[in-house]
Amino acid sequence: MQKASSALLPVIALDRKALLPLHKQIYDSFRKHITHGSLRAGQQIPSTRALALELKLSRIPVLTAYSQLLAEGYCETRIGAGTFVSRSLPQQEPVHGRQPGRNQAVAPKPRSVARRAQWLEPYRPQPWLGGLGAFCVGQPAYEEFPFHLWAKLVARHCRHPHINSLHYGGPFGWDGLRAAICSYLRTSRAVRCDPHQIMIVSGSQQALELTTRVLLDAGDAAWVEEPGYWLTKQVLTALGCKLAPVPVDGEGLDVAQGIRRCSKARAAYITPSHQFPLGVTMSAARRLQLLDWAERSGSWIVEDDYDSEYRYDSMPIASLQGLDRCDRVIYIGTFSKTLFPGLRLGYIVIPEDLLGRFAAIRNAMDLGSPHLYQAVLADFIGQGHFARHIRRMRQLYNQRRLALVDSLRKRFGRGVEILGAEAGMHLAVTYPMRIRDTEVSLRAVREKLWVAPLSSAYAERPDKRGFILGFGGTPAVQASEAVARLKSLLNA
């Protein structure tokens, strides 16, 4: 007869209402105890009959669980003795346990990672970017997207897939979408390009990383707008580049300041048509000055044109790339604002002599974007749905923008300055008084207001504090109530 102490029952919690089968719950519990060290190599486990009796169920799920543990090598049987934890398993220390003979908890051993993995702080999502609703930056009006049309296009391509669409794509993406984007950019954005210069990527974030990998080495300096898009700074930092923050004023990036601060920067990352987050449009003089600097210094300009389709008081501003005669501008665009972020499609317009370099790095990163949505989007653009959607959304966002601006002026009067309300899907508000905008933003999250603090867009000490308010996902009828809640938070 086996000794009772040699086959102590580990803690096995069963949920008979769970969708997970009972045998899988038993198996998972034993495997966890073994891998975490609470069941040691060579230790006996209860017989199937004893365990079934203890758990008050039939032997069938217990037999199934034990069979799987034996098949995977976690356990072994000994004729006439019973079932044991496999002796071939390496000895595991109990997780969060204590070493024998000590009263002190075991300290985890430091694990070695590459230096570049330490250049960024551990990922912690910004709370104000974690929800959908009033003031969420970058949130389109999802409810207004023509999903019925989109669904028909998706269904057609799924019913009649081309064999090439099921195989790996090339690093540049599907030719049909590249041609459609090229036609759109030439007409609407005055971009100088041919279809073969366009690379389809998984959104502007991948475009920024890919471009940085091609153009910059670790240790190279790059101009970034101050304040500017926080994820651009993260891309540069993650690849070991040095940030050279350049202030933004009423004409956009202050090129003269950039030259004084870091004349030998390898690249300038800018949002000239609608600066993020202040909404400034770069003046013609600054554009020409920037292009002249890039030509003379042999530097690059990365133009992130993320939401230029939406301009309300004037025609859309032509791209900076269209003025470039020396092929120093890499142009980046995305469909995250015009359609929806989950689509994960963007594009890069690449100078001719860099096409091979971009293709090589892209091929090392991944094997191209999925074909299905490229084909659907090409039809969506080619059949005129995209242009109609943009026109309709421009009218809707204009209404939402005016409602937000009107509510801010009524509630705050001259207590706030409104910046960048002429274009895009967000505006910025600044306060003459010193406020702790990050603290207010954290309190706002608890009230379901997704207000991004302006100070978070600075690489250095902020000289403005306030908030970035998205209005794309904030219906006009909700603007007044949302602004009232924001003011009450500020007065708290």
**Residue ranges matching CATH 3.90.1150.10 in the chain:** 388-491
What is the average pLDDT across 45-53? 92
pLDDT at 384 over 90: yes
CB-side neighbour CA atoms (13 Å) of 26: 26
Structure confidence at residue 163 as a pLDDT band (50, 70, 90) = confident
Q: How far apart are CA 325 and CA 492, in angstroms?
A: 54
Bond prior to 227 in cis (omega within 30° of 0): yes
Could you name the CATH architecture of 388-491? Alpha-Beta Complex (3.90)
pLDDT tens digit string along 395-439?
999 999 999 999 999 999 888 899 998 999 999 999 876 789 999
Task: Find how far residue 217's CA is from the centre of its chain.
Answer: 23
Q: 4-85: what CATH class?
A: mainly alpha
Longest dimension (CA), the chain: 94
Mean pLDDT rounded to a whole number for the chain: 91
pTM of the model: 0.80
Per CATH, is 146-383 categorized as 3.40.50.1820? no
Q: What is the model's pLDDT at position 108?
A: 67
**Residue ranges matching CATH 1.10.10.10 in the chain:** 4-85
**Residue ranges matching CATH 3.40.640.10 in the chain:** 146-383
Task: Give the list of residues 6+ apart from residue 187 with CB closer than 8 angstroms, or none.
Answer: none
Assigned token pair, 60: 């069938």
Q: What is the model's pLDDT at position 104?
A: 53
Neighbours of 256 (CB within 10 A): 12
Structure-model confidence comparison of residues 99 and 226, the more confident one: 226
The residue type of 76 is E
Q: What is the model's pLDDT at position 294?
A: 97
pLDDT tens digit string along 261-280?
999 999 999 999 999 999 99
